[in-house]
Structure 1
Amino acid sequence: MYLSYFGLSEKPFSIAPNPEYLFLSERHKEALAHLTFGLGDAGGFVLLTGEVGTGKTTVTRCMLEQLSDSTQVAFILNPALNELELLASICDELKIRYKKSETSLKDLTDKIKSRLLKNHQAGGHTLLIIDEAQHLSAAVLEQLRLLTNLETNTKKLLQIILVGQPELQQLLKRNDLRQLAQRITARYHLLPLNESQVFAYIQHRIFKAGGQTQLFEMGSIKLIHQLTAGIPRLINLLCDRALMGAYSNQYPLVTKAVVKKAAAEVLPDQVTEQKVSSNGAKWVWWFAGVAMLLSGFALSYVF
């Protein structure tokens, strides 16, 4: 492996959402602040959206580490469920006992509400996080809204964080979901990293993994940004393969050539798109030059 070769104690570019490796760009700081603000509010729903691989789950896990011990959390990772299955999953997460052979929406709802009241009376909080929430059906979302109806004069007894891709924003614009949309007290859309943030991101992860020096040439980092569009998950995939490539060739640094070869292996679509874009730009300049020459000839003829 390349770890000892580059002086690393562990792999710096794992795609696992490890909060210890969270790079708090300005955008990630804002996302974390919005989640924290939403949880401190009296409302029922908080919304976090972003493209695939931008770091939504990692931000969410970082937020979880900041919660007090008095907060009981239910974390749903597979929301492709019907109403009954979702309520059963919430009960499983909150360790609420129920007879699986004799369940109904009313039975499970009553048990969940009983737990919410018990937590509140004990001075605690209850939080439900649903990842990949763009897969929720309208019926399930309405069932979630009904769960937040239980409240005191000052706060909801259940707070819900919906984490999902941009399609979730469109889903919540449906007219039949307007009641839920009106209960969202904080929302944030997480954007990819820009070029300077990609440089800082790569250095951050190398340092976290025990590295003490820069392992990527500046030109290679610029290319990484272009190929990945600043999406952290793609950056991790590409950088991990590029480090392996540099190690195989016994290079002290990751070069642009190494990045290109690594991208062809793990990001073939991005490499193809960049070539098409680059060739397209060359043809645009070629036609522009021809047009200028023809214009010059035309002017000479007129005068």
Structure 2
Amino acid sequence: MYLNYFGLKDNPFSIAPNPEYLFMSPRHREALAHLTFGLRESGGFVMLTGEVGTGKTTVARKLLQDLPETTQVAMILNPTLSALELLATICDELGIEYERQLSSLKYFTDLILKKLSDNHQNKKNTILIIDEAQHLMPEVLEQLRLLTNLETNREKLMKVVLIGQPELQQLLKRNELRQLAQRITARYHLLPLTAGEVKEYVAHRLQVANGDRGVFSPGSIQAAYQITGGIPRVINLLCDRALTITASKQMLSVKRHILVAAARQILGEDVVKQRQGKQQTLMLAALFAVSVALGFVAGSWYG
């Protein structure tokens, strides 16, 4: 391990969801603002989507931290459930006691609706958060919509936060789910980090671990962005391996070639080559566009 070598108190690039290392980029803050606003509206659903590893769970964790103490949260992390199993899981999460031999959609629905009414009477909000929601079956989503039918004159008694990959957006475009789609009061698609945010992200995690913020050279940060596309989870994997290689070579900082070597070990030679080539193609296209624009301006000037 490289912790002692670099004087770190902890592994700064672990992929474990440690709240201490929470990094909220401007994009993550914007996503959080959209979700928070949506939960204050009268509709029943808010939605957060993004590619794998972009930090959706980070936003959800921060949302949980910011909720008032008067909020009861039911969290479902594995939504590959039938409608009956989903309702039973919601009962478990909300602390609702039930008899298994009586299980039916109506039985569980009645229990949940009573719990929602009780929470409202006790001035408690109820929020259901479903991660990996792209795996929900249409009939399960319809059951969720029916649960949100209970409402006062001003608001729904249960708000639902759907978190998933881009496939969730396509799922909700299905004709049979149009009623649910119309109830989504806020939706946000979380994009990867920009080049500048990757630099801040790496520095932040090193600082939390009492490390040197500048241990990664500018070239290595640039390579990290090119190869990972700004996906935080992949950045963690590459930086962790790069620190290991750097320590084994008794070097003082992570250089670009070390980061690329780490990427080849984790992602494979072909993937790294493809991503670096794609980045170079984009840069050349941008330079060509700029040169054409400058040529047009110059031609207009002298014309």
TM beyond 0.5: yes
Partner of 1:185: 185
- Counterparts of 2:98 and 2:224, CA distance in 1: 51
Moved over 4 A (4+): 275-281
Partner of 1:30: 30
Q: Is the 8 A contact 1:228 1:270 kept in 2?
A: no
Per-residue Cα deviation, 1:97-144 (whole angstroms, up to 9, x for no partner): 111232000000000001000000000010000000000011000000
Q: Is the 8 A contact 1:22 1:59 kept in 2?
A: no
Q: CA deviation at 1:3?
A: 1.1
**Match for 1:30: what amino acid?**
E
Partner of 2:50: 50
Per-residue Cα deviation, 1:19-66 (whole angstroms, up to 9, x for no partner): 332222111110111111112222210000000000001110111011
Partner of 1:270: 271
Q: CA deviation at 1:280?
A: 7.8
**Match for 1:245: what amino acid?**
I
SS in 2 for 1:101: helix
Partner of 2:88: 88
Q: CA deviation at 1:274?
A: 3.0
Q: Is the 8 A contact 1:19 1:59 kept in 2?
A: no
Q: CA deviation at 1:7?
A: 1.7
Per-residue Cα deviation, 1:42-99 (whole angstroms, up to 9, x for no partner): 2210000000000001110111011121111000000011100100111111111111
- The 5 A counterparts of 1:235-254 are 235-254=235-254
Per-residue Cα deviation, 1:234-274 (whole angstroms, up to 9, x for no partner): 00011011111111111110111111111111121531423
Q: Is the 8 A contact 2:220 2:255 kept in 1?
A: yes
Q: CA deviation at 1:210?
A: 1.3
Partner of 1:225: 225
Partner of 1:149: 149
Aligned length: 285
- Counterparts of 1:189 and 1:19, CA distance in 2: 22
Q: CA deviation at 1:278?
A: 7.7
SS in 2 for 1:126: strand
CA gap of 1:131–1:279, structure 2 versus 1, over 3 A, is closer
SS in 2 for 1:192: coil
Partner of 2:8: 8
SS in 2 for 1:163: strand
- Counterparts of 2:111 and 2:25, CA distance in 1: 41
Q: Report sequence identity in percent.
A: 60
- Counterparts of 1:126 and 1:274, CA distance in 2: 44
Partner of 1:71: 71
Q: Is the 8 A contact 1:117 1:157 kept in 2?
A: yes
Alignment gaps of 5+ in structure 1 = 286-303
**Match for 1:63: what amino acid?**
L
- Counterparts of 1:160 and 1:222, CA distance in 2: 39
SS in 1 for 2:102: coil
Partner of 1:167: 167
Q: Is the 8 A contact 2:227 2:276 kept in 1?
A: no
Q: Compare CA radii of gyration and give the structure with the larger one.
A: 1
- Counterparts of 2:93 and 2:75, CA distance in 1: 7
Moved more, 202-211 or 17-26: 17-26
CA gap of 1:122–1:279, structure 2 versus 1, over 3 A, is closer
Partner of 2:105: 105
Alignment gaps of 5+ in structure 2 = 286-303
- Counterparts of 2:134 and 2:174, CA distance in 1: 13
Q: CA deviation at 1:276?
A: 5.5
- Counterparts of 1:44 and 1:16, CA distance in 2: 31
**Match for 2:209: what amino acid?**
A
Output the TM-score relative to the length of structure 2: 0.90
CA gap of 1:158–1:9, structure 2 versus 1, over 3 A, is same
* RMSD after superposition: 2.0
- Counterparts of 1:120 and 1:236, CA distance in 2: 42
Partner of 2:290: none
SS in 2 for 1:156: coil
Partner of 1:132: 132
Partner of 1:256: 256
Per-residue Cα deviation, 1:175-223 (whole angstroms, up to 9, x for no partner): 1111001100111000001111100110011111111441101001000
- Counterparts of 1:238 and 1:224, CA distance in 2: 7
